[in-house]
């Protein structure tokens, strides 16, 4: 409980009356002072009784089943007054960080009679994908005389995982019907779902061949009846890995690489599923696998993938000024410091400390390499395609190891590198030092690309302008 | 449940103002500010505008303190006069002036604990000077006759502050339990 501005005015008046009493040597001034003081004391005691008598119970309900970035999310707040006093308060439901108010108002003045319920609804527009804290309700109460105020935070609150923008889903739906993810060469695995046949060649017509397979155009040229031969198109079990390390989450003025990676993962999986390739997705950070949906087909598979990608952490927004942050040391991602996220950094370091190292090698089952090994072990000899969307900063060694693993086991790997410098805003002044830095980084990237290609992987370097459609076409045409 | 309407508050303000004027030495220089103050309070009550009421309250309290002819609290007559002419009207007027706010009127709810504490505080403050004089008289009979106005005011203020602190602590412990 604290004194309001009006209470301070009256308190000042009390002091002035007391001083006037001593100045004029008159008791009446002091009695007036005592009267005002009594009124203030009475107001305080009364307010204390009100506060203990009417403690509100607050419930929050998210009205939208799925929340998208830059789309309104409805929130319903229900306040129950279980006490015997009327609850008069100003309720302020704090908007998640970086969100804007949509329809309605998150600040309401209420007067809830005893043992009754009041509810209000509003919507907010989350600016970014990721986890958002909702339900932080502040109850601001003022006493009946306006002399004292009390502010308390109601119990409750929950974390709302906001998905990427809705346009990304629309794009995924559009390109799913248009683009087909056809990797060069036929798969070893015959199709389970026969969507279409691949043209194989021509042979002489034999009695019993279907009329629709006859090559009629060739009849006029050669005078012979030929039959077109088809073979089943293969399918590839595909696993998409999305790197959620801290370097991927950094958004220095531009777009966070993780946001782009989530969009790519979402759209690529839909393209794969529409081409009847069993697709799955896994997210990993520097320490462990954070979410996973096994490769499968079916109408609910895209929902499962969406759910996993929704759980990826949000972007870390840093100041735009100054050069982009230095390249983090591999496997020590957050240690290079970020003032706004110290708590998160400390939590990350704690997590890193728990990682066990056996004779200088990471233990099996940890991170990208571990999960790739696990999937290969459970694939029963089926050919697999791994797609890794990463900036290759903290998971560089793990990706190289996975490439070698795929080469050894006869599986395929496509590495999509979200190139760090293309996501950062362009430098204001290009000096020699900056140019050398960019050159060094690019040459390092080329060396890494060479190493990956030697290990049999396909490599693509992408920026924020690269769409899924372009990536799919590049792969299909063998440009990558 | 009974609600305190603006008419009730206006009646309380008028009654308190009358009591103040009745027991005071009213001159033209005190009558005019007192009437202006009462008018401001009535206006604030009528249109549910608290700043106007508070301004009027401060003007009325200042004028009543100037106009009052209470000079000592060592005798019971002085205590009764101070209670009837200043303390109770000021309290009632402050209640009426501060309780006007926009929106629905508050229910008239009698709070036993808060009211009992208010009565205890009023008694402690107003009877502190006679009690102090009695105590001094018992210890030093010759000194009790010479309790100055300054001493009286100091005793009242000390009693008021002590009462507020003690009763507030009691209220806090009662709420916690």
ipTM: 0.90
pLDDT top residue among A188 and A122: A122
Our CA-based measurement puts residue B55 at a distance from the nearest CA of chain A, in whole angstroms, of 10
Calculate the average pLDDT of chain A: 78
Instruction: Find the farthest-apart pair of alpha carbons in chain B and give their distance in angstroms, rounded.
Output: 59
Scan for tokens 């708590």, then name that residue: A343
Q: How many whole angstroms separate alpha carbon A135 and alpha carbon A114? A: 23
Please tell me what DSSP assigns to residue A144.
Answer: T
CB B20 within 8 A of CB B64: yes
Please state, in angstroms and as integers, the Cα–Cα distance from residue A85 to each residue in A56, A117, A310, following that order. 11, 13, 43
Beta carbons within 8 Å of A208's beta carbon, 6+ residues apart: none
Residue A362 has pLDDT above 60, yes or no: no
Lowest-confidence segment of A118-127, B3-12, B50-59 by average pLDDT:
B3-12
Pairing of strands A412-418, A458-462: parallel
Beta carbons within 8 Å of A246's beta carbon, 6+ residues apart: A285, A286, A316, A328, A333, A334, A348, A394
A194: pLDDT confidence band, cut at 50, 70 and 90? very low
pLDDT top residue among A8 and B168: A8
Most A CBs within 10 Å, among B26, B157, B158, B165, to test the A interface = B157
- Give pLDDT, residue A376: 84
Query: Of A417, A384, A415, A407, which Cα lies nearest the Cα of A455?
Result: A407
Most A CBs within 10 Å, among B90, B103, B113, B173, to test the A interface = B90
CB-based contact B87 A34, cutoff 8 Å: yes
Q: How many whole angstroms separate alpha carbon B170 and alpha carbon B117? A: 10
Scan for tokens 């009877």, then name that residue: B127
Most A CBs within 10 Å, among B160, B165, B176, to test the A interface = B160
CB-based contact B164 A28, cutoff 8 Å: no
CB-based contact B65 A44, cutoff 8 Å: no
A192: pLDDT confidence band, cut at 50, 70 and 90? very low
State the sign of the Cα–Cα–Cα–Cα dihedral B84, B86, B87, B90: positive
Residue A217 has pLDDT above 50, yes or no: yes
Q: Which residues of A touch B64 (CB under 8 A)?
A: 28, 32
CB A415 within 8 A of CB A390: yes
A229: pLDDT confidence band, cut at 50, 70 and 90? confident
Scan for tokens 């490439």, then name that residue: A403
- Give pLDDT, residue B56: 92
Q: Which residues of B touch A42 (CB under 8 A)?
A: 114-115, 117-118
CB-based contact A10 B106, cutoff 8 Å: no
Query: Of A364, A368, A335, A339, which Cα lies nearest the Cα of A352?
Result: A335
Query: B104-160, pLDDT tens digit by residue?
Result: 656 556 677 788 888 888 888 888 888 888 888 888 777 656 678 888 888 889 988
CB-based contact B122 A38, cutoff 8 Å: yes
CB-based contact A17 B71, cutoff 8 Å: no
CB A64 within 8 A of CB A102: no
B3: pLDDT confidence band, cut at 50, 70 and 90? low
Q: How many whole angstroms separate alpha carbon A40 and alpha carbon A34? A: 10
Mean pLDDT throughout A242-264? 82
Residue A270 has pLDDT above 50, yes or no: yes
- Give pLDDT, residue A12: 92
> Could you write out the DSSP letters of every residue in A145-172?
TSSEEEEEEPS--EEEEEES-HHHHHHH
Residues of A with CB under 8 A from a CB of B: 6, 9-10, 13, 17-18, 20-22, 25-39, 41-46, 48-49, 51-52, 85-86, 109, 111, 144-147
Q: How many whole angstroms separate alpha carbon A201 and alpha carbon A199? A: 6
Q: How many whole angstroms separate alpha carbon B79 and alpha carbon B134? A: 14
- Give pLDDT, residue B72: 79
State the sign of the Cα–Cα–Cα–Cα dihedral A420, A426, A428, A429: positive
CB-based contact A37 B90, cutoff 8 Å: no
CA dihedral A120, A121, A125, A126 (to 10 degrees): 70
CB-based contact B82 A26, cutoff 8 Å: no
Beta carbons within 8 Å of A434's beta carbon, 6+ residues apart: A323, A427
The reported pTM is 0.63
Pairing of strands A148-153, A2-3: antiparallel
Query: Of A50, A111, A49, which Cα lies nearest the Cα of B105?
Result: A111
A331: pLDDT confidence band, cut at 50, 70 and 90? very low
Element (H, E) at A121: strand A116-125
Residue A20 has pLDDT above 60, yes or no: yes
Q: How many CB pairs under 8 A join A and B?
A: 138
Structure tokens at B85: 């002419």
Our CA-based measurement puts residue B142 at a distance from the nearest CA of chain A, in whole angstroms, of 23
- Give pLDDT, residue B55: 92
CB-based contact A145 B125, cutoff 8 Å: no
Beta carbons within 8 Å of A72's beta carbon, 6+ residues apart: A64, A102, A103, A123, A124, A125
Lowest-confidence segment of A47-51, A345-349, A472-476, B56-60 by average pLDDT:
A345-349
Sheet of A130-134: strand order equals A67-68, A158-163, A130-134
CB-based contact A44 B168, cutoff 8 Å: yes
Lowest-confidence segment of A14-18, A382-386, A421-425 by average pLDDT:
A421-425
CB-based contact A32 B98, cutoff 8 Å: no
CB-based contact B118 A42, cutoff 8 Å: yes
Element (H, E) at A389: strand A384-390
Other Cβ atoms closer than 10 A to A19: 13
Our CA-based measurement puts residue B149 at a distance from the nearest CA of chain A, in whole angstroms, of 7
Helix, strand or coil, per DSSP, at residue A217:
helix
> Could you write out the DSSP letters of every residue in B116-129?
HHHHHHHHHHHTHH
> Could you write out the DSSP letters of every residue in A12-30?
HHHHHHHHHHHHHT-HHHH
Our CA-based measurement puts residue B139 at a distance from the nearest CA of chain A, in whole angstroms, of 25
Other Cβ atoms closer than 10 A to B157: 20
Sort A114 into a burial class: Cβ within 10 Å, 0-12 / 13-18 / 19+. Answer: middle
Q: How many whole angstroms separate alpha carbon A186 and alpha carbon A237? A: 13
- Give pLDDT, residue B105: 58
State the sign of the Cα–Cα–Cα–Cα dihedral A385, A389, A391, A393: negative
Q: Which residues of B touch A81 (CB under 8 A)?
A: none
Query: B50-92, pLDDT tens digit by residue?
Result: 888 899 999 999 998 888 877 777 788 888 888 888 889 999 9
Our CA-based measurement puts residue A13 at a distance from the nearest CA of chain B, in whole angstroms, of 8
Sort A80 into a burial class: Cβ within 10 Å, 0-12 / 13-18 / 19+. Answer: middle
- Give pLDDT, residue A341: 57
Residue A321 has pLDDT above 80, yes or no: no
Cβ-count burial B46-62 (b if 16+ within 10 Å, e if not) = eeeebebbbbbbbbbbb
């Amino acid at each position: 409980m604290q004194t309001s501005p009006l209470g301070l005015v009256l308190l000042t008046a009390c002091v002035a009356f007391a001083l006037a009493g001593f100045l004029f040597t008159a008791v009446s001034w002091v009695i007036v002072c005592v009267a005002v003081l009594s009124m203030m004391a009475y107001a305080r005691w009364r307010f204390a009784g009100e506060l203990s008598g009417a403690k509100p119970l607050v419930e929050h309900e998210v009205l939208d089943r799925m929340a998208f970035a830059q789309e309104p999310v409805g929130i319903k707040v229900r306040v129950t007054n279980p006490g015997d006093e009327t609850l008069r308060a100003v309720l302020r439901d704090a908007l998640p960080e970086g969100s804007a108010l949509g329809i309605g108002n998150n600040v309401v003045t209420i007067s809830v009679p005893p043992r009754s319920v009041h509810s209000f609804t509003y919507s907010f527009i989350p600016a970014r994908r990721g986890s958002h804290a909702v339900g932080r309700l502040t109850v601001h109460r003022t006493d009946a005389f306006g002399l004292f105020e009390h502010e308390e935070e109601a119990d409750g609150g929950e974390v709302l995982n906001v998905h990427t923008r809705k346009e990304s889903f629309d794009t995924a739906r559009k390109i799913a019907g248009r683009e087909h993810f056809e990797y060069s060469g036929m798969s070893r695995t015959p199709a389970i779902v026969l969507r279409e046949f691949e043209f194989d060649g021509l042979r002489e017509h034999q009695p019993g061949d279907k009329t629709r397979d006859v090559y009629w155009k060739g009849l006029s040229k050669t005078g012979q009846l030929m039959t077109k031969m088809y073979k089943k198109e293969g399918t590839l079990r595909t696993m998409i890995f999305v790197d959620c390390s801290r370097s991927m989450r950094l958004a220095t003025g531009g777009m966070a690489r993780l946001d782009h990676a989530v969009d790519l993962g979402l759209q690529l999986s839909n393209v794969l599923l529409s081409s009847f390739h069993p697709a799955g997705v896994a997210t990993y950070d520097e320490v462990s696998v954070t979410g996973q949906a096994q490769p499968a087909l079916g109408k609910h598979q895209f929902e499962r993938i969406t759910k996993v990608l929704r759980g990826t952490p949000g972007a870390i927004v840093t100041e735009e000024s100054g050069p982009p942050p230095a390249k983090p040391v591999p496997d020590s991602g957050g240690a290079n410091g970020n003032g706004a996220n110290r708590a998160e950094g400390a939590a990350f370091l704690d997590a890193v400390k728990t990682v066990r190292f056996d004779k200088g090698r990471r233990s099996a089952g940890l991170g990208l390499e571990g999960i790739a090994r696990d999937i290969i072990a459970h694939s029963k000899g089926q050919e697999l395609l791994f797609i890794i969307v990463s900036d290759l900063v903290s998971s560089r060694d793990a990706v190289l190891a996975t490439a070698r693993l795929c080469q050894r086991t006869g599986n395929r790997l496509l590495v999509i590198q979200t190139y760090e410098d293309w996501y950062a805003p362009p430098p204001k002044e290009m000096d020699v030092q900056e140019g050398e830095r960019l050159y060094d980084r690019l040459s390092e990237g080329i060396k890494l690309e060479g190493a990956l290609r030697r290990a049999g992987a396909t490599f693509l370097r992408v920026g924020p302008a690269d769409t899924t459609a372009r990536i799919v076409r590049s792969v299909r045409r063998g440009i990558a | 449940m009974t609600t305190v309407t603006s008419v009730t508050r206006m009646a309380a303000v008028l009654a308190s103002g009358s009591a103040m004027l009745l027991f005071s030495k009213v001159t033209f220089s005190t009558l005019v500010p007192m009437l202006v103050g009462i008018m401001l309070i009535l206006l604030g009550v009528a249109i549910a505008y608290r700043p106007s009421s508070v301004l009027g309250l401060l003007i009325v309290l200042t004028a009543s303190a100037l106009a009052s002819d209470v000079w000592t609290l060592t005798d019971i007559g002085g205590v009764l006069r101070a209670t009837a002419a200043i303390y109770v009207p000021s309290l009632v007027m402050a209640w009426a002036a501060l309780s006007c706010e926009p929106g629905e009127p508050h229910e008239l709810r009698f709070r036993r604990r808060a009211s009992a504490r208010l009565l205890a505080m009023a008694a402690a403050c107003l009877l502190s000077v006679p009690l102090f004089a009695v105590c001094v008289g018992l210890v030093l009979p010759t000194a009790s006759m010479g309790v100055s106005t300054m001493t009286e005011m100091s005793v009242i203020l000390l009693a008021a502050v002590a009462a507020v602190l003690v009763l507030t602590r009691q209220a806090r412990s009662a709420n916690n339990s």
